[in-house]
């Protein structure tokens, strides 16, 4: 799978660890930045870069990391069709794909350590959308998105 990565200055080290982990599992990884730790950047810019890459099909899914995972995921979720979910443990990471067909996983470098982050991404990328009753619920969410993107 081709995966896009984005992070802010708090998460460069963790992002690099996760990229190497997923490369070791045979995934192709595209780094949209930032690449300089400790130099303050606007996390929203990197959330947008990855979301646009997922939306365009340049990458299949994305991984976003900031201090908590919240801000960068909020930015990504402004792109229609993006479902970026913040997960701090593997169970939610798995269910967000099974039930919500999430296409971006987000977490916080100040919240989870590297070993837990590896378990989170493994759970996310090993899961597949179940469809069925979840497809109907997802259609409702898409309808809400369409309603407000027309204004």
User: Any idea which residues carry the catalytic annotation?
Assistant: 66, 99
Distance in angstroms (rounded) separating the CA atoms of residues 130 and 147: 25
Q: Burial letters for 97-110: b for 16+ Cβ neighbours within 10 Å, e otherwise?
A: bebebbbbbbbbbe
Residues 136, 142, 148, 150: what is their CA dihedral angle, to the nearest 10 degrees? -120
């Amino acid at each position: 799978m081709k995966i896009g990565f984005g992070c802010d200055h708090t998460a460069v080290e963790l992002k690099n660890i996760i990229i190497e982990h997923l490369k070791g599992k045979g995934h192709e990884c595209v780094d949209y930045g930032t690449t300089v730790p400790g130099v303050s950047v606007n996390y929203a810019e990197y959330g947008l870069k990855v979301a646009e890459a997922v939306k365009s099909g340049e990458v299949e899914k994305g991984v976003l990391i900031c201090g908590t995972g919240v801000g960068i995921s909020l930015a990504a979720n402004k792109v229609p069709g993006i479902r970026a979910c913040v997960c701090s443990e593997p169970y939610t990471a798995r269910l967000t794909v099974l039930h919500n067909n999430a296409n971006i996983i987000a977490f916080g470098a100040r919240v989870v350590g590297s070993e837990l982050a590896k378990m989170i991404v493994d759970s996310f990328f090993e899961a597949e959308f179940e469809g069925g009753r979840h497809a109907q619920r997802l259609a409702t969410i898409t309808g809400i998105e369409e309603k407000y993107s027309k204004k």
